[in-house]
Structure 1
């Protein structure tokens, strides 16, 4: 039942365009989904969603967050023939952009590519810069683009619906990073209905993660939680081109606990207390989990743990293949295990004890 509902909701929400700074339609839909299951709900000026679920007895404030934005581009320039030049917002890779279908602020387009018949041998062997790429929206003049309502700064995202493989547990499409965790957070709120737990859970759906963890910084300052858990997807290394990389993370092996994520400047070394809390809860509930060290990727936890006087936080992430592409692949079983882990964490607060630095 969880997998079917999760897939259906994710398919709908992932299809909505929502690149950094342009998350409005995603936020609107998520507000609609969260409202029946939250005691209170608000949206700030940036677009961060705050959903409150109050426990049955006093206790800490626990923030659990996911981000709503997906990688994308914006219109940088419009030439006299109606072709659009672009700038990236987030981790768009040129090699994955060429020849793709895109959504330009609600209009269909394609990222054009010089025909192979016309390319020189040198051109065939290299990936063009994003500043050489362009979007064709099927018009022939700048005025026609203007008549469509498209202007500089408008969002551009992949067109790629969430689909299932023959193995129904595996899903593929755009924006699994990180609409999947938005839906997981929604399912957590549903699972806590009529359950006893202490304190207050604040579900945060943050904006602009892909361009510098911006929404999470604002949201954490506002909530000022006692503890925080960040939900996100994380790259894995279980395909032929990455096996033996020394990063043993794969889909279908349970949630991933990143002990270290990100580089020296924008990253997080998860606190020993939170890492042990997550791992020990998974062991107690006999749930699979994976420990990881991933210097090449980070989560909103990198911003969350530095707010106020320092926030004690942890990350629970989910492996995805083909990161930051229109064909990200994930396993529904991982999210199901993640829900069980999150629910167990929230309901066992009385057993957490004191988590001081020493």
Structure 2
């Protein structure tokens, strides 16, 4: 119960539905929370939203961003038998969706359905779906007309039904959409914490849109804000459960300091500086290499160039219908973000520029 209470805002966020392009419900929630303490609310035309806490005139601008969108699917057709055809939104493999309960999201309600599968009794060889186009959603409609009477239309979003729970040891939480409602929740938590800490910066916290389909909100929001330091807060995949050596990252061992991914190589001086901060503040961290990207990859191009990296949370089974995280890692991410905000200043920024 202690863990669930501590993570209540995160639970609220994961229960919201919002694939790429459909982030409105998440944005409304985030905006309402930011408005409680923000000096100013910023929103770009794609829908990314941020709260501003102004520092002294000319102070460095630190931008902390989660992303609102989750991976999922979109209805792209209705068969004569009333089944719904799907298009993947974000990086989803078809096998993770088979036999899963889903919500087809209308404006004011959801229609529950199940992604079809073939039982072994009826299977002929390898009948498993090889591509997303093979998947269908069964909502119990008798035919196409019946589905349309229920309110089904082309272009509706389809998301997994959430089954949020805390594991028996009270340390881990399983939910859909940790990627990246965690980052949204952490941006809100850090923003609220600014009321209680002294620091010399302008801090801008919030969430981008359409990260999962091309880091689009990061491109527009960083052009709007032009920060000096950009910190993407995102969930990264770990495979510690396999027991195989050689992988990066594990649950419960601290935040992930992403020194390399294909879109963003961490500045060596920034890496050295962040390692120093984490060590001095006794914050557990793990060096992390990723083959995927985050909003940091797009943020670095804003203005004259932005020092950008990712403060990551380890997650098992991301980009599926459910993900497991560890609450100790949540605390490590928060501690690191707060420590950076307290320590970073104009002198540190100039040192990075001149390095």
If the length of structure 1 is used for normalisation, what is the TM-score? 0.93
Structure 2: give runs of 5+ residues left out of the alignment: none
Cα gap change, 1:169 to 1:315, in 2 (>3 Å)? same
Q: How does 1:215-226 map to 2 (within 5 A)?
A: 215-226=217-228
* Equivalent residues of 1:62, 1:200 under 8 A apart: yes
Specify the alignment match of 1:319 in structure 2.
Answer: 314
Q: Could you say what the CA RMSD is over the residues aligned between the two structures, in angstroms?
A: 1.8
Specify the alignment match of 2:120 in structure 1.
Answer: 116
Match of 1:230 among 220, 229, 232: 232
Q: Aligned partners of 1:6 and 1:33: how far apart in 2?
A: 16
Q: Aligned partners of 2:62 and 2:205: how far apart in 1?
A: 8
Q: Aligned partners of 2:261 and 2:190: how far apart in 1?
A: 24
Q: Aligned partners of 1:5 and 1:342: how far apart in 2?
A: 22
Corresponding position: 1:87 with 2:84: no
Match of 1:349 among 332, 344, 350: 344
Q: Aligned partners of 2:303 and 2:60: how far apart in 1?
A: 16
Specify the alignment match of 2:273 in structure 1.
Answer: 277
Specify the alignment match of 1:21 in structure 2.
Answer: 21
Q: CA deviation at 1:204?
A: 2.9
If the length of structure 2 is used for normalisation, what is the TM-score? 0.93
Please give the secondary structure, in 1, of the residue aligned with 2:232.
Answer: strand
Q: Aligned partners of 1:2 and 1:352: how far apart in 2?
A: 38
Please give the secondary structure, in 2, of the residue aligned with 1:113.
Answer: coil
Q: CA deviation at 1:194?
A: 3.7
Structure 1: give runs of 5+ residues left out of the alignment: none
* Equivalent residues of 1:56, 1:196 under 8 A apart: no
Match of 2:284 among 257, 267, 288: 288
* Equivalent residues of 2:175, 2:324 under 8 A apart: yes
For each residue in 1:160-188, what CA deviation from the matched residue of structure 2 results, as whole angstroms up to 9, or x when unmatched? 23210001110011101110111111110
Cα gap change, 1:121 to 1:113, in 2 (>3 Å)? same
For each residue in 1:89-120, what CA deviation from the matched residue of structure 2 results, as whole angstroms up to 9, or x when unmatched? 10111111100000111211110112221111
Specify the alignment match of 2:203 in structure 1.
Answer: 201
